[in-house]
Amino acid sequence: MDGNGRWAKARHLPRTAGHTEGEENLAAVVRSAVKRDVGWLTVFGFSTENWRRPRTEVRHILGLHEKLFGRVAELDDLNVRIQWIGRPFRSPDARTPRFVQRAIRKAIDDTSANTGMTLTIAFDYGSRTELAQAAQRIITNDLPATAEALEQLLYLPELPPVDVLVRTSGEVRISNFLLWQIAGSKVYFTDKAWPDFDEHELDNALALLA
């Protein structure tokens, strides 16, 4: 969900205003995706690299994610099940604060019975770290060094392969996001910043599957 800061700068607003707008737009995109019978939507909310951002900006983003995971009533109305992907909370290098951990666990539990779209939020997530940790488990558990074994040791092995990867805000590249899962996926690039990513942009991305 790139471009929140640039969206704010173009409007002479603080970067935090862009993140707030981006969080609100995610709710709108979720509603649009549900209407289009999208089965799985996975969004990159906060990366392992994002901890290097200014402390005030990080605190603001953490608060937004606590709010995001707390929107259970809206998710229930949409029959959306929420998941999280990221460094396991007990991992020595994990950095997700306890108050965000509590919000994540509660959202997962409260929406577990929903049968519609699965919304997965990547928080404190980095694909290289995910793959490295999976490889380390193969070594530790003396498992066969196969693609199948590694896939079963990813953070969320039930996450299906990605059909379409979306890059907003003019970023014409992939990032440290679901590197294993995006193999063979279509890629949709748009100059729109994430807060401006609307249902028409979503339709353009989904059209790649036609």
75 neighbors 33 (Cβ within 8 angstroms): no
Contact 48, 87 (CB under 8 A): yes
Judge whether 50 counts as a catalytic residue.
Answer: yes
Report which residue type is found at 108: I
Identified catalytic residue from 4, 50, 76, 114: 50
Helices (H), the chain: 4-10, 15-35, 55-69, 72-77, 98-110, 127-140, 147-151, 199-206
| 210, two tokens | 């036609």
Q: Are 165 and 186 in contact (CB under 8 A)?
A: yes
Residue 34 phi, psi dihedral angles, 5° rounding: -60, -45
Helix, strand, or coil (residue 42) = strand
Token code pair at residue 106: 């509660």
> Which tokens is 167 given?
């890059």
Catalytic residue among 2, 4, 114, 124: 2
Sign of torsion, CA 104 97 63 49? Answer: negative
Token reading at 8: 């704010």
Token pair, residue 209, equals: 């599957």
37 in active site: no
The DSSP bridge pattern shows strands 186-189 and 118-125 to be: unpaired
**Would you name the residues annotated as active-site residues?**
2, 50
